Amino acid sequence: EEERQLQANNRDFNLQFEYANNSIKTSKYNFFTFLPLNLFEQFQRIANAYFLFLLILQLIPQISSLAWFTTVVPLVLVLAVSGVKDAIDDFNRHKSDKHVNNRPVQVLINGMLKEQKWMNVQVGDIIKLENNNFVTADLLLLSSSEPHSLTYIETAELDGETNLKVKQALTVTAELGEDLQKLTEFNGEIRCEAPNNKLDKFTGTLTLRGEKYALDNEKMLLRGCTIRNTEWCFGLVIYAGPDTKLMQNSGKTTFKRTSIDRLMNVLVLVIFAFLALMCLILAIGNGIWEHDKGYYFQVYLPWAEGVNSASYSGFLMFWSYVIILNTVVPISLYVSVEIIRLGNSFYIDWDRKMYYPVNDTPAQARTTTLNEELGQIKYIFSDKTGTLTQNIMCFNKCSINGKSYGDVYDMSGQRIEINENTEKVDFSYNPLADPKFAFYDHSLVEAVKLNDVPTHRFFRLLSLCHTVMPEEKKEGNLVYQAQSPDEGALVTAARNFGFVFRARTPETITVVEMGETKVYKLLAILDFNNVRKRMSVIVRSPEGDLTLYCKGADTILYELLHPSCNSLKEETTEHLNEFAGEGLRTLVVAYKSLEEDYFQDWIRRHHEASTALEGREDKLSELYEEIEKDLMLLGATAIEDKLQDGVPQTIETLAKANIKIWVLTGDKQETAMNIGYSCNLLNDDMEEVFIIEGSTSDDVLNELRNARKKMKPDSFLDSDETNIQFEKSSKKQIIIPDEQANGVYGLVITGHSLAYALEGNLELELVRTACMCKVVICCRVTPLQKAQVVELVKKYKKAVTLAIGDGANDVSMIKTAHIGVGISGQEGMQAVLSSDFSFAQFRYLQRLLLVHGRWSYIRMCKFLKYFFYKNFAFTLVHFWYGFFSGFSAQTVYDEWFITLYNLVYTSLPVLGMSLFDQDVDDRWSMLFPQLYVPGQQNLYFNKVVFVKCMLQGIYSSLILFFIPYGAMYNTMRSDGKAIADYQSFALMAQTCLLIVVSVQIGLDTSYWTVVNQFFIWGSLSVYFAITFTMYSDGMYLIFTASFPFIGTARNTLSQPNVWLAIFLSITLCVLPVVGFRFLKAQLKPTPSDKVLLKIKEAKKRPPPPSPKRRLRRTSTRRSGYAFSHQHGFGALIMSGRNMRPKSPFATTGTFSPNSDKYKHKGL
C-alpha cells in the first residue's frame, strides 16, 4: 500500500481497495489449526523429534531390544501437558479479543445511527463517539459538541501521559455539527499516507466540492485514546483494526524460550553425537567379534534369522544399541523440567509478600516456562509514568518572601516526619476548597488569614497565571481540567488557601479572593515553550492596576529579576536547593507592575508581530523578552511527583545486584531527570551525566563518542579487545563484551536523537557508550522506540533483559524483552495481558528477581547437573558390559529396572530437591543482592559444568561396573553354591547404582525438608520392596515370561561380601566429589561462597534491629520546572475557541474568612 484513498459514506468505493476491517486478533490458533500447529511447534524441540524416531525403531522386531511402551507413554504425556497449557493460554487471548471486538459503537448508515460491533466498522464509515468512550479506530475528527469543534482526549494508552490533549476539526467539516442529514451527504475524498507506526505524524488531504484541505495529526483521534469533557463528536474512519497506529505499535507475539532451553537443545545434540559414537564403537566391536569368534560358535549360539554376515550383524547391533543407550537423554527430563517450572510459578502466585491488599492484586506468573530466566537478568527497561511514579502531583512546599512553608516542627523546633497521623490543615472555613487537598503546615494558613501582602500576592499569581479550564457541574463543585498535572496542583493549592479560580472567558478570569468575587481582565498570555521555559499573563485588576505575573524555571527567571531582589534571591535559592534535594519539582514565581502608556505601545507592537507573515515566532519572542525583565521575586513552589512506595530502595538493591536500569519514558527530559534523581537512579556522586540531544546523525555520533572518550579513553585504541573483535567479526553476529568505565556515569538521550542513534551505523556506538553507563534514561520515546532499544541490547549483548511497564505504550517493549512484567495498575490491562509476570507495585520486582528468580535458577541448574549425572552413570554401564558380552546388545539390568529407574526410583528425590531447595532463605537473599551475580554470568550450568557432569558420570559407571564384576568373579556363596551368574551380577550392579545416586542427591541438597527425607528414603525402600516382590516365586509362577529373575534377590542380598562390595563402590564414587568440593571452597572460594560464609556467621549472632532509613539526598540545584503543556495552548485560550458560555455561578461568592464566625479567639 503506497497511499490510502477513501471516500466518506461510500462502502462500495472503499471495498475495492480491500482495506482491513476493525477486528483485531492476538491469538495464535483456532479450533482446526490447533493440533497441527501445536504439534509442529513441539516437534521443533529436538528431543521430542528424537523420541518419535526411537519409537519407530522400537516397532521393528529385528532390532527392538526394549518394549515399545517404554517410549510411547512418556512421549504422549509430554505432548499432552504442553498442549493443554498452550490451549488455555490461547483461549484467554481469544476471550480478550472477543471482548474488544464486540464493544458497541454508533455508525451512520443510510442517514440513521445504528449500533454496530467494533469489528464490523469499516474504512470510510462515519461514527459517533460520546464522553468517556474509547476511540474505535483511527478517525479524522469531523465535528464535536464543543465550540470550534474542539475535542479533548486522554492518550494514556498510547504514550502513558494522563494530561488532556486538544484536537480540532477543520472548519469546513465543523459546520456539519450533529445534523445527520448533512453528515450523510458528506462525500469528501481523502488521500493520505499508508498505515505506519508513527504516533505523532499524519499527512493527508481532504477533497470536498473541488477544494483541497490539508490534514495533519491535530485533526486525528487515534484508537486507544479516550474522549474526555466532550459530549459527542463525529469521526471518519481512516485506519481500522491492524492498520491503526496502536496495533502497528504493538509488536509481534514471539515464542519466548529461556537460555537454558536453548543450551539444552545444544547439549542434547552433543549427547546424540556421543551416543552415535558409542553405538558405532560397539557395532564395529560386534562385527569383529562375530567375524573372529561368533562365526565358529554358531552351533551353540546360532545367528538370528536373516543375518548372514558379521557386518550385517554389526549393522543391526548399531540400532539395537541406540535403543538400549537412549536413556542418556530420557524423555522424563522434559516432563520434570515442566513440573519444576510449574511448581516455581505457583510459588510466585502464592507469595503473600507480593500481594497488594489495596486493590486485592496478587502477583501472577502468566507464563510458566520462563522462571529460571528471572535469576539471570542483567538489564531492566522500565517505563516511568505509573511504574516508578503514581502520576499524582501534590503541592508540597513553597517559599514565600524568603520564608519556607511545608515542614512541620514540634515544640522544641525539631522537624517531624509527616505520616498518616500528622494533623492536617483544616480548610472547612472555605466552602470552595478541594476536600482531597492535604497540607500540614498551619503557619501558611495563618499568614493568609492575617492578610499578609506577599502571601496574598503569591496565591493570586497562582490563581491567574495558568491555562487551566474550570468545570462547574453543580454549584461549588469545581473540577479543573489541566493540561498537565503540575498546573492542576498549583491552581488547586491556590483554591484551598482562599484564591479560587472560578471561571474564564477569552477576555476575563474570575477569581474568588478570600470570599470576594473579582473579575480580572486578561490582556495577554505570553505562552510557554521549551526555549523560554516560562509563561506570563498580563491582567488588569478590578481596581485598574496593570500587572504581569510570571512563573518558570529558576535558572531562566533568575536572569530576569530586578537587582533589588538580590538578598531575597539568595534565601530563595537555599530553599530551592532543599526542595530539589528532596526530588521535588520547582518553579519560581515573580511579578511586575506595568505603566499604562508603555503597555499600550507594547500591545500595539504585539498585535503587529502576531499578524506578521514571516518571522512571527522570532518577533514575538523579542517582545516577550522586552517586557519580562526587572521582575520582582515572590517565591517558589515545590510539587511532589509521588513515587510508588519503595521505588528508591528497590532501585538501590537491584543496582547492588549488578543489574543495570534503563528508564524509557514518553515524558520530557526535565521530568524524566527529576524522577531519576528522586528515585536514586541519578545522584550527585556520579562523575557526569551525559545528555545527548543532537539533531543530526553526525551530532549524535560526536556526542556519543565524546562520552565514551571520557569514560574509557583506551576504547579508541586499536589494541582494545572490543575493537579487535569488530575487526574479526565483520560477517557474523557481534557480541560486545562488558566494558568497565573509569567511574560512575549516567546517560540521558532524547527520542529525537535516539531515532538517529538507532540507525545502522550508529547503533554500535550507542550500545557501547550506553552500556558503560550505570543508568540510561531515554525521554520522549515512542512505544516502538522502546522496543527497538530492548532489541538493540538483546542483539549486541549476551545478557537477559526484562521490561516492566503498565500501559498500552509499553506492550511492544514487554513483548520484545526476554521477560515482560506488567504492572496491574491504573492505566488499563493492556500491559498485563501481554506480559509474562504481573504484580501491582514496582517494589515487588526485587523479590521476584532476588528471591524467586534466583531460587528457580539455582534449582533448575542443580536439577540438570544431577539428572545428566545419574543418567550417564546408569547408561554407560551397558557400554562397559558390551566388551564382556560379545557386543550382543544384552542389557546389564533387568528390563523392569530400566523401565522404572527414571519413572519411579529416581524421579521423586530430584523433584523434591528442585522444588524446595534454597541455599539461603528469602531474607538473606534480599540482604545480600551480590548472591544474584553468578546467575547473570550463567555460572551454575553451562557447557563446562555439563562436561564435568559427564566425566563424573563416566567415572561412576566404570566403578559401578568393575567393582561388582570383580566381586562376583568366580565367587562362592557361604554355603558353597555359585553366585557368579548374570542375574546376581545385574542385581548387585543396580543396587550399587541406586544407592550411589541417592547419596549424591543428599550431597546436593542444601535445604532439608520432611518431603526431601521422605522421597529419598521412600524411593530406596520402594526399590527393595519391588525387587523382592518381582523376584519372588509367586510372580514367576503367575507371569513366567515376564519375571525371569526368580530368587535372585534373597540369594544375593543375604551375602555379607556383596554388601561390602556395595559399600566399597559407594565410597569410591562419592569420595572424589566430597574432596573436590571441600578443597575448592577452601582454596578458591567463589564470591558467593564468601557471602554464604558471612551469612553462616551472621546467623550465629542475634539479628540486628532493622534500620529505619530516611532517604535524604544532597543535591546540587537543578531546575525541575514543572510545565508539561504543549506550546500554543495560550493562544487557544485567548482566541476563546475552547470556551463554553459563562457558568451561572461564576459571579457569586458567599464566604469571607474574616467574618466573626472564623475570627480567632483572643486575637
Q: Is 77 among the domain residues? A: no
The residues assigned a catalytic role are 383
pLDDT value at position 1107?
Answer: 55
* Cα–Cα nearest to 675, from 642, 653, 645, 708: 642
Residues 381 and 501 in one domain: no
Overall domain count for the chain = 4
Determine the average pLDDT of the residues in 661-685: 84
The enclosing domain of 563 has a CATH number of: 3.40.1110.10
Q: Is 355 among the domain residues? A: yes
Residues 659 and 589 in one domain: no
64: exposed, middle or buried (Cβ count in 10 Å: 0-12, 13-18, 19+): middle
Q: Is 533 among the domain residues? A: yes
The enclosing domain of 225 has a CATH number of: 2.70.150.10
Of residues 211 and 667, more confidently modeled: 211
Q: Is 52 among the domain residues? A: no
Residues 12 and 140 in one domain: yes
906 vs 1132: CA distance, rounded Å: 76
Query: Binning pLDDT at 50, 70 and 90, where does residue 1016 land?
Result: very high
pTM of the model: 0.80
Residues 599 and 465 in one domain: yes
86 vs 90: CA distance, rounded Å: 6
Q: Is 253 among the domain residues? A: no
Q: Is 74 among the domain residues? A: no
pLDDT value at position 1127?
Answer: 63
Q: Is the pLDDT of residue 75 over 60?
A: yes
Going by the annotation, the residues of the binding site for Mg(2+) are 383, 385, 806, 810
Q: Which residues of 763-774 are buried (b: 16+ CB within 10 A; e: fewer)?
A: bbbbbbbbbbbb
Residues 479 and 376 in one domain: no
- State the residue range of the domain holding 800: 343-388+643-851
213 vs 202: CA distance, rounded Å: 14
Residues 884 and 1023 in one domain: yes
pLDDT value at position 346?
Answer: 92
Query: Binning pLDDT at 50, 70 and 90, where does residue 1110 land?
Result: low
* Cα–Cα nearest to 8, from 174, 149, 186: 186
Query: Binning pLDDT at 50, 70 and 90, where does residue 747 land?
Result: very high
Please tell me the number of Cα atoms within 13 Å of 970 on its side-chain side. Answer: 0
The enclosing domain of 666 has a CATH number of: 3.40.50.1000
Residues 654 and 625 in one domain: no
At a CB cut-off of 8 Å and minimum separation 6, what does 692 contact? 700, 703, 704, 707, 747, 748, 749, 750, 753, 757
Residues 684 and 812 in one domain: yes
State which H helix or E strand residue 139 sits in.
Answer: strand 138-144
pLDDT tens by residue, 165-215:
888 898 889 888 889 999 999 999 999 999 988 887 888 899 998 888 888
* Cα–Cα nearest to 1138, from 1124, 1149, 1125: 1125
Residues 1044 and 1031 in one domain: yes
From 1056, 1090, 1124, the end of a domain falls on 1090
Task: Give the three-state DSSP class for 196.
Answer: coil
pLDDT tens by residue, 501-539:
988 887 889 999 888 899 999 988 888 777 788 899 999
Q: Is 43 among the domain residues? A: no
Determine the average pLDDT of the residues in 83-108: 87
869 vs 885: CA distance, rounded Å: 25
Q: Is the pLDDT of residue 303 over 60?
A: yes
Residues 672 and 710 in one domain: yes
Residues 560 and 632 in one domain: yes
Going by the annotation, the residues of the binding site for ATP are 383-385, 487, 528, 551, 585, 665-667, 780, 786, 809-810
Residues 933 and 832 in one domain: no
Q: Is the pLDDT of residue 1139 over 70?
A: no
pLDDT value at position 235?
Answer: 95
From 1090, 1106, 1140, the end of a domain falls on 1090
From 818, 851, 884, the end of a domain falls on 851
